[in-house]
Structure 1
């Protein structure tokens, strides 16, 4: 029986029945697989019958990852009914794949030439299947390895479509029987298989036997190769029922035992051995570590025979055991018997300590076969029952024996209260039972539901219910000295978030000033954040952290006094600095005026930038520098920084009145401790003399004339009528020229008229005798350049011409009279005449 994804259950077994009662389909042969789908309330939704013409016994079923089901058991049928493959021998593994509605999709027959009994299967994470059972076959059919003895463990690996991938045979030289829950997958990809064996060390079995049948388990890797095996038992029969891997990586072996305290069994049997009487059994649970070593074992039983048939791990790390017993209240059984054999359910803690037990049965014989925890904390148990409505059974039988499913709640007691006690505090502990109405017995002697404790320790309470069932639980109380701090950055980059976490002694409740109640919060705004950690029993601690945006300030004087001024970047939490100068320290010596900037980088990656203008103190004197006619003038001190002043005259005000020429010195004293000085020269303005620029003048055309103003010592300025400002002026045209001469105290204007006349002289004789006088034809007073000359003899023949005449003709000419044409094409001016060359 297993839970299904829809919250219901799938149950299965074997049946001889045809269509009748709750069975809706006819029989296929002597005995068939029968599966029933139940809803969460235990109501049948559908049932299916699958079989051949012989005996088909269902031993295990699994919910597959596609939402369907896989049925596993043993068949002696050939190809018939729902069986599509022939028998391989006496009995074979037979698996049937169903969809979610219970409809058959395919079936496979796997076996050797002898008898093969399939007891359990598991689906692997990759969708493939692992089958495990017992085989008496030699090599043949699907079996590839020889048998070790009468019967061996036989493991077969199939793919998701049921095709065989490999098989492995393990056994001793005698009979070894793998049980119906003797397969569990392990977290390393392998598996643990188990059953019982009566043989000592031989073949694959490395340890000797302890008596008759012993628990025998083998650890296999993902390829089915043996890694280790272990034998556990006493002198009598020890029959393994199931194997599980525990959360710590170890293993739990569960079954029933007739042995006392011997071999690997550390606790005595409950049913004493009586000569001639049948031997009774007890539940026996063995806890192994990951390597197969025994950590502990527990014997649970009564003076009657108690046979465990199912076990499962529970959500709290414990173990739920289920089987059958004939006993009433005796030994570990605290609840009455209803008839012959009843279902007996026992809850153990993770350490094997019994917590409670429960009897479920009718007045007839009831045999438990399966137990499963339910989501709400109860259990559903299933098996077969011969009874009519009686005891815990509410429905009539359908035939000789029926499937009987029962949903039960655990008779449970729990202790509520904190597990941590502050020094000097008091801690209330309260026993709460389900169902209510139980009586309580504390190990302190108290019988009330609530006790108050003041010391650390483990406190136990036993609840006794109306039906006689008992449940015991414990509660560990420790003394707490709480410590807590807030972990996380206190600098928040704008636009981002940071995480604050309360670390230290784990609290039961956290309350932040933001209203959140988790140990860790995200904040995206600066401010004060406070958390109170509540540890129970009045214990609490409060811590606070200030989250701020990163800041950067520049400290130091912005005035350059002496050789340098010290600047300091103040940025709490910064890890690096970089100045505009390239410096990477927090401080910087600024040695010259200018703008200095720095970038501070913080651990969370954000940056801040600041800048400062460093200036040197400057003092100047403003005012006139020329005394006019003995009149006083004002000199005023100016500075870019507040200061006090001292003049060389002894004055200390910002302004002084002066009446004498000379050099005046000003010293400014600053609050920064430095001082600056400057000077100002005061002179007497020169007196402008009486002066004339000159008489009116007439000069030859082409002549450059230089006009002169009176030369005076500064301060004096000149401005001629053409705008020039020099003391002299060169003129080449006729006109009236004036100059304004100005001092700070007065100005005068002088004027002169200039006229030009023609002074042209064209010689009429050349005396080429080499005395340097009149050796060539050299006109005087020609204006400009670009003059051309053409000379003709007296017969009119051209004897000379020049496009750029420069007074060179005549020195080589023969004596006589010549005629010339002198012209300037650019102006259109020309002259004609004659000249005589005399030698």
Structure 2
């Protein structure tokens, strides 16, 4: 056996013996090892209490957040990782913008290490203004109009008509127009933080035309009769070809007018009878005479239903069911018209 080999064997035996002695020492001294491990590995720090406070706020509001802090620990507050200027157990925050934010608190105690607790907060701003209103800009009274808009998610609508809040928070409003004229439709978006800027639309509500020329009438020769179709601002078409609201007539005939606007078209007519002198037929069949302030009528067998008394200006003074006498309050020349049940007309001029 060579010297080199002998040296290797001796070295191996030495290592084995040394390891065996070390093992026996460790097994014989467990308490010493336990004390060593306990003294050299520090415990983790206490965890702070859960951060409490509102999880939803409005832009422009101030909110307070807090957490339970163990004794002997120092705190640091963060918002989205940005250190805040306080080490107290509460944090006062003025929310100057909207968004999602994370509030966290980091705890540092005498022992090594840190512990953190956090809270997620949603900050809402005022909603964006609604999209422009879509709907009628002109309408007719006694009809409905539908108006609509678009708003951001998480908000609802407040509609107004002429400043009056309507009973709907939908993006669609149906309104029944009762009054003609100029009206204003408004809408704002609303959320838990308030109202947006409003948008508005002017609406012109037109009135359905209504025309009433009156009853058929009689005038004396040489008189003028004014016919007024009313409804200012509408379009007019008379049977005479005239297109004005008011016309003047002086001849016998049927006069018809059509009145129209954006809401529709209506028409009316009347018959004008021009009387010249006394109707001879009426003199033969009906006897009419003046006695003081009384008009005395003898129908002479004619079945009279109604009597009309007109003055020379074409104004009707009396229109009553037939009776033998009538009172004339003034002096002058009058047209006495008797209308029978079979619609015959008898005219007589009298002077009081």
Assess same fold via TM > 0.5: no
By percentage of residues, which structure has more helix?
2
What TM-score bracket applies, with the shorter chain setting the length?
A: 0.3 to 0.5
More contact order relative to length (CA 8 Å, sep ≥ 6): 2
| TM-score, scaled relative to structure 1 | 0.20
Greater Rg by CA = 1
